[in-house]
Structure 1
Amino acid sequence: MTNAAAPASTRPFHPLDISDSSFWERPFFEREKTFARLREEEGVTWHRPAESLFPHDESGYWAITRHADIRHVSGHPELFCSSAGISMDPMPAEIQCAISFFLTMDPPEHTRYRRLISMAFTPKQVRTIEAQIQANAKAIVDDFLRELDKGAPVDFVQAVSRHLPMRTVSEMIGIAPENHEAVAYAAESLFSTSDDEYANLEERATHLMTQLGILTGSGVELAKERRVNPQDDLMTNIVQAEVDGHRLTDEEVGAFMVLLASAGNDTTKQATSHCFKALIDNPDQVAWLLDDWDERASGAIDEFVRWSTPVLEFARHAVVDTDIAGTPIRAGEKVVLFYCSGNFDEMVFDRPLDFDLSRFPNPHVGFGGGGPHFCLGKQLAVLELKHLFHELLTRIPPVELSEPEYVRSDFVHGIKRMSVRKL
């Protein structure tokens, strides 16, 4: 380990400012140029606190931009905890916990809750979910093709991207169809609190809490109903699951509802939009994939996730004095894992700026950097992308896309709108 770290109060901030909101308004690959420069630095770099809706006394954070360092932090929960907060933006811990449930827990508590949730995904339940996904993917593309045939531009995000994850999450939990849109909007709002389209600066904190309440309330209400009236759905499995004598309370189910609706909904939606654009921009990749779909689809989906990186970052806090890449890190200091940088690390990925469906191996960190918080919803996301893109790529006619309109956020790599027109 190198010499002792300077006190955070006197430590200079790195001149490349990745905390300013204007940085996150730049195009993704323009931001990647900055991250590439940070990856070249010796050790890791110290940055001023990100802008926040809430009062705070944070002194700054360490930017973890290299793939190897992201994997190191993710794989050592005894050194870097989640319970002190996982948000790059300063935010009260109780709000972070309400939004992210067991993502803000550490082992052994996190292990117990993860086992409880995992138990609900029985083989029968997964088979049911996959059948629903396959049927919904076909129906969504049917509707999309009908709209394209009318000749006018169609917003791909509204017509396709947002529908499959929304329907999947809603149907597998048992949310009533009339509530699907409200749940989807609430989930999008939680992931896009920094975008003025959802709420202006003065309204953001209130808007955040309102949408959080909608999701939590939906989960609590549904949990209470399923305890009295069990159904053949995931929510019934969740309320009945038991590990070491522990079951989820209604309030804990409500918190899980927030996580599932946001993480399980918006991430797959964003991956769908980004990858549809990448495929239209790279017709040679489509031809290669369709030449042997059954053998090539799984590897292609890894590249879908790497390329889109729907979640840009997550934070951890050092539990003890330690170091990362030779840089001393003091106990209590925040480290931010920039997955958007790790997925384009030229030390790991050959030609990282190329969209290459044949890329192998593809050790992307789009589902996290490993360790106990590796994405629990990976299987669900893969099924959705696999079935939806099989329908799209085998059925759509030649189309052209407008330039996407992006979500302004330091957390979600999002597309708000993207028009598509039949040629």
Structure 2
Amino acid sequence: MTVDAPTSPRPFHRLDISAPEFWKNDFRTRDDTFAALRAEDGLSWHPPTPSIFPHAETGFWAVTRHSDIQHVSRNHELFCSSQGVSMDPMPAEIQRAMTFFLAMDPPEHTRYRRLINIAFTPRQIRLIEDQIRTSAREIVDELVADLEANGTVDFAAEYSRKMPMRTISDMIGVAPEDREKIADAVESLFGASDEEYSSLEERAPHLMTQLAILAGVGTELAAARREDPRDDLMTNIVNAEVDGHRLTDEEIGAFMVLLGSAGNDTTKQASSHALAALVDHPEQRDWLLADFDARIDGAVEEFVRWSTPVIHFARHATEDTEVAGTRIDAGEKVVLFYCSGNRDESVFHRPHEFDITRTPNPHVGFGAPGPHSCLGRQLAKMELRHLFHELLTRLPDISVGEPEYVHSDFVHGIKRMPISLR
């Protein structure tokens, strides 16, 4: 059962973006509501989302305009992450277990980010790109064979998750037999609000089970690499040191949760959304293929803007402050809706049109500038670049069926999406 929220200090906005029913609408329908909020002065105040955890939250401020998202993201002294980064009321310790250093503030966040960053040596990056190139070719080999044998394949359920999962597994040395277990845990963790993965009554133990699976893989790998170092990212991570600090096994377990979720689900969703959009816009696919190497980087930016795999992150005001003329009291939650910022009419011409020629493209699909800008953005771009080279050059004529979406206020996800040869 859900937990009743405390009394709000102010009236809630007439447009309800907290109710689960709102998030059952499609992306375009939801943005009609966000567009109305963007058009109003200031920020809007909304009730807490239904929660399975006891909490004292009275509501949150919705940050829906591109410029306001940028402002909050850049000013980490005024808007902290350590009190939680989820719109959904949830204990901070669970959020930290799910997001590791995303739920920290500088200087602690800076130290952990540096610890991870220094593990990505130039040699490691070259090795990772070689692995990605090979994985993309192998995955599309499998996809082509599957399509030729069966006619129709569920790209979202069977193939879009293979690229990021193989990349992560190769990077840190996950055994092939453990890959599906990790992918399943990630999908069910971030689809927890979807009844297909867990009922409301099962949601809390379900979350803890998936967290334990992912963290367990990380701690086991860390222990193994200390005993038997190899030429992989996990060995670099256990040996990385900043200001005399190394990651503990518990911290590496938390990093595994972050890597598995941010590194897997985001790229998975972007590839499904982008493939569907390119099939719907064959003239753009043809334009891209006419000079793929020169055009793919700009196209990937539109893939991410269009799909916006991560819908939101939250912050909390550290002191009384103001955003867009609205007073925010110390301790109050603000939720940055990237889904809204990426459709802001004041920034993007024809925001509801997919356009891989769009330039400039200052989307917030990787978050906005600031200390929490996405650490894995270059890795995600690399994966999408190599995967779409294989997909578009080897499968030039496919059809895409109706996607089935994840019911979630956090992930803009596709659960199932059939594709077939024409």
Q: TM-score, normalised by structure 2?
A: 0.98
Q: Does 1:140 pair with 2:147?
A: no
8 Å contact kept, 2:63–2:336: yes
Question: Which residue identity is paired with 1:144?
Answer: L
Pairing of 1:175-186 with structure 2 (within 5 A): 175-186=174-185
Deviation at 1:141, TM superposition (A): 0.5
8 Å contact kept, 1:64–1:337: yes
8 Å contact kept, 2:85–2:95: yes
Deviation at 1:134, TM superposition (A): 0.4
8 Å contact kept, 2:300–2:385: yes
Map of 1:19 onto structure 2: 18
Map of 1:226 onto structure 2: 225
Deviations 1:210-265 (A, max 9, x none): 01001111111111111111000000000000011111011110110000001100
Deviations 1:28-50 (A, max 9, x none): 10001110000001001000001
Aligned length: 417
Deviation at 1:171, TM superposition (A): 1.3
Map of 1:353 onto structure 2: 352
Distance 2:7 2:201 in 1: 30
8 Å contact kept, 2:9–2:58: no
Q: Secondary structure at the match of 2:316?
A: strand
Residues 187-196 or 129-138, more deviating: 187-196
Map of 2:266 onto structure 1: 267
Distance 1:293 1:399 in 2: 19
8 Å contact kept, 1:36–1:341: yes
Map of 1:58 onto structure 2: 57
Map of 1:122 onto structure 2: 121
Pairing of 1:144-293 with structure 2 (within 5 A): 144-293=143-292
Map of 1:415 onto structure 2: 414
Pairing of 1:287-366 with structure 2 (within 5 A): 287-366=286-365
Deviation at 1:8, TM superposition (A): 7.9
Q: List gaps (5 residues or longer) in structure 1.
A: 1-6
Question: Which residue identity is paired with 1:72?
Answer: H
Question: Which residue identity is paired with 1:312?
Answer: I
Q: Which segments of structure 1 move beyond 6 Å, counting only runs of 4 or more?
A: none
Distance 1:191 1:370 in 2: 24
Deviation at 1:149, TM superposition (A): 1.2
Distance 2:334 2:127 in 1: 40
Distance 1:66 1:154 in 2: 38
Map of 1:99 onto structure 2: 98
Question: Which residue identity is paired with 2:122?
Answer: P
Question: Which residue identity is paired with 1:266?
Answer: D
Residues 148-157 or 349-358, more deviating: 148-157
Distance 2:287 2:50 in 1: 44
Question: Which residue identity is paired with 2:306?
Answer: W
Residues 317-326 or 191-200, more deviating: 191-200
Q: Secondary structure at the match of 2:334?
A: strand
Q: Does 1:376 pair with 2:375?
A: yes
Percentage of identical aligned residues? 66
Alignment RMSD (CA, Å) = 1.1
Question: Which residue identity is paired with 1:421?
Answer: S
Distance 2:413 2:203 in 1: 18
Deviations 1:135-164 (A, max 9, x none): 010111111111111243110113320100
Distance 2:323 2:94 in 1: 28
Distance 1:133 1:52 in 2: 39
Deviations 1:74-110 (A, max 9, x none): 0000000000000000000110011100000000000
Distance 1:194 1:20 in 2: 12
Distance 2:373 2:191 in 1: 22
Q: Secondary structure at the match of 1:52?
A: coil
Question: Which residue identity is paired with 1:25?
Answer: K
Distance 1:371 1:45 in 2: 23
Q: Secondary structure at the match of 2:202?
A: helix
Question: Which residue identity is paired with 1:243?
Answer: V
Deviation at 1:365, TM superposition (A): 0.2
Deviation at 1:9, TM superposition (A): 3.0
Map of 1:39 onto structure 2: 38
Pairing of 1:386-397 with structure 2 (within 5 A): 386-397=385-396
Distance 2:8 2:265 in 1: 37
Map of 2:3 onto structure 1: none
Question: Which residue identity is paired with 1:154?
Answer: V
Map of 1:4 onto structure 2: none
Distance 2:349 2:355 in 1: 10
Seen in structure 2, the aligned counterparts of structure 1 residues 110 and 306 have a Cα distance that, compared at 3 Å, is: same
Deviations 1:273-296 (A, max 9, x none): 000000000001101111111111
Map of 1:80 onto structure 2: 79
Residues 234-243 or 151-160, more deviating: 151-160
Q: List gaps (5 residues or longer) in structure 2.
A: 1-5
Distance 2:206 2:45 in 1: 31
Distance 1:291 1:182 in 2: 39
Q: Does 1:110 pair with 2:109?
A: yes
Residues 157-166 or 355-364, more deviating: 157-166
Map of 1:405 onto structure 2: 404
Map of 1:3 onto structure 2: none
Deviations 1:45-80 (A, max 9, x none): 000001112121210000000000000000000000
